[in-house]
Amino acid sequence: MSVADTLIKAQPAPPDRAKRWTTARISGTILVMFWVAAAIGLVLYLYSAWDIAKIERYGPKFLSGLWTTLSLVGVSIAIGAVISLPVALGRVSKNPVISRIAFAYVYVFRGTPLIAQLFLIYYGLGSFRPQLEAVGLWLFFRDAWNCALFAFSLNTSAYQAEILRGAIDSVPRGQWEGAAALGLNRLQAFWKVILPQALIVALRPYGNEIILMIKGSAIVALVTVFDLMGETRRAFSRTYDFQAYIWAAVFYFCIVEALRNVWNLLEARLTRHLKR
């Protein structure tokens, strides 16, 4: 029987095996290079198309359009949140009539394009001008911005109601029972126990909904509201310069990405007690 009496000397690590050029690596490299080229091309294009006269003329308009977009979305999301609460409660209601009405409301607004809803309200309500004038609502519906606000609020309220309902459903029944055992009535239980837990579940879908609304709000340009898209279309039709659309894309992309990242941070912060 033999016993090893010397240890093998420490060896240097073997050299890395040369990476092989697989199909995946080749195509991946080509695609990344395509994106890099596209990014460089974009910057070069915007640099070569830079025209200080146009920027001075249309730049401030773009910013005011941006403000229109953001305020329209912000206000309609807020109004929609208020409307969504009773609708969501209607959806979870045990009363079949109420829950069917709430379901129909949600289905109608989620089943049709936002643009069709907007056209129906903006152009369609013009058919009822005498009646609307009689009740004094015509002044409201005459303005495209108000119509957009109205349509967007109703539309987002249906989506938000669905988000809220899903979130309320996700809270275990034991939470209701526990609250009841502590002597809270149903309203208190909902407000102080269920809703705070539901909102954490709803956080991510809410963020998605805001992003969808920002993107969806571009269609108000078609009913003569000069939001970011509207200003873009106006600038393009005046100058026939394609950089208007590129700038709009850059603006929208930055808003959406900023919002997405802020939302991720917000979610990380608000759910830090759930981390293990």
Partner 1 sequence: MDNYLTLLSFGDQGWGDEIAWGVLITVSLALATLPVGLFIGFMIAVAKQSEEWTLRTAADIYTTIFRGLPELLTLFLVYFGLQIGIQQLLKAVGLGGAIEINTFFAGVIALALVFSSYASEVFLSAFRAIPKGQYEGGYALGLRRGRVMRSIIVPQLIRIALPGLGNLWMILIKDTALVSAIGLTDILRQTGVAARVTKEAFLFFGLAFLLYLVLALISSIGLNRLEAYGKRGEQVR
User: Is 34 or 67 the residue whose CB approaches partner 1 more closely?
Assistant: 34
Interacting span for partner 1 (CB under 8 A) from 70-78, 105-113, 188-196, 198-206: 105-113
Q: What are phi and psi of 117, to 5 degrees?
A: -65, -40
H/E segment holding residue 160: helix 144-170
Residue 236 interacts with partner 1 (CB under 8 A)?
yes
Q: Which of residues 137-176 bind partner 1 (CB under 8 A)?
A: none
Dist CA 247 CA 57 (whole Å): 14
**Binding residue count for partner 1, defined by CB under 8 A:** 49
Report the Cα 51 to chain-centroid distance in Å: 33
Which residue in this structure is represented by tokens 């209601």?
Answer: 93
Among 106, 179, 229, 235, binds partner 1 (CB under 8 A): 229
Distances (CA, A) of 99 to 7, 95, 107, 189: 79, 6, 12, 21
| Spatial contact of 171 and 224, defined as CB atoms under 8 Å apart | no
User: Is 199 or 259 the residue whose CB approaches partner 1 more closely?
Assistant: 259
Among 2, 11, 22, 48, binds partner 1 (CB under 8 A): 22
Return the structure tokens found at 253. 């992309």
Among 83, 146, 256, 267, binds partner 1 (CB under 8 A): 256
Q: Which residues, 6 or more positions from 51, have their beta carbon under 8 angstroms from its beta carbon?
A: 241
CB of 276 to partner 1, least distance (A): 20
Binding site for partner 1 (CB under 8 A): 22, 24-25, 27-29, 31-32, 34-35, 107-108, 111-117, 119-120, 123-128, 214-219, 221-222, 229, 232-233, 236, 242, 245-246, 248-249, 252-253, 256-257, 260
